[in-house]
């Protein structure tokens, strides 16, 4: 992954698909599966997306790449950029190629514990593709309870 952080990839695609099938068999809720970088090259990504569709996912999140290899038009591909996490800056995170590569949504997150970086990115985002924003950390509130820090 050229711009992301190392992932330990402790779970194989087969193990992940087995768990996905178990979850899909027990819920009617939409399932979004994170498929890392797609388990290989472009051909592997096509195979991966097909297998995740078959296993019951309604969407996948894929890092630094998005393709339109899907058989179900309602199946979503969410491209994850880790440029802010990797401290590469807003300009790198805004590269429009991500939106043009077939993604239905762009997932952005940040390691900054306040919303400034994500707010700036959101204001600068001019693509029609919607953003998915993910909280990155738990913080303590004044009452002592834990809550998500909405920096992403």
Give the ranges where 29-142 is alpha helix by DSSP (H). Answer: 42-55, 90-93, 97-100, 116-124
Q: Report d(CA 77, CA 102) in Å as an integer.
A: 8
Q: Which of 7, 36, 72, 74 is catalytic?
A: 7
Tell me which residue of 110, 105, 109, 108 sits closest to 127, measured CA to CA: 105
Q: Is 104 assigned a catalytic role?
A: no
Q: Report d(CA 30, CA 77) in Å as an integer.
A: 13
Tell me the catalytic residues. 7
């Amino acid at each position: 992954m050229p711009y992301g952080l190392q992932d330990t990839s402790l779970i194989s695609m087969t193990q992940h698909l087995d768990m996905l099938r178990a979850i899909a068999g027990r819920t009617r809720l939409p399932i979004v599966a994170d498929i890392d970088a797609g388990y290989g090259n472009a051909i592997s990504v096509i195979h991966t997306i097909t297998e995740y569709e078959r296993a019951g996912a309604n969407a996948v999140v894929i890092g630094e790449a998005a393709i339109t290899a899907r058989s179900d038009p309602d199946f979503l591909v969410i491209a994850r950029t880790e440029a802010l996490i990797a401290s590469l800056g807003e300009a790198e995170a805004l590269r429009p190629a991500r939106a043009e590569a077939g993604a239905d949504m762009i997932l952005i997150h940040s390691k900054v514990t306040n919303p400034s970086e994500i707010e700036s990115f959101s204001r600068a985002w001019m693509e029609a593709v919607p953003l998915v924003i993910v909280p990155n950390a738990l913080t303590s509130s004044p009452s002592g309870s834990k809550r998500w820090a909405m920096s992403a």
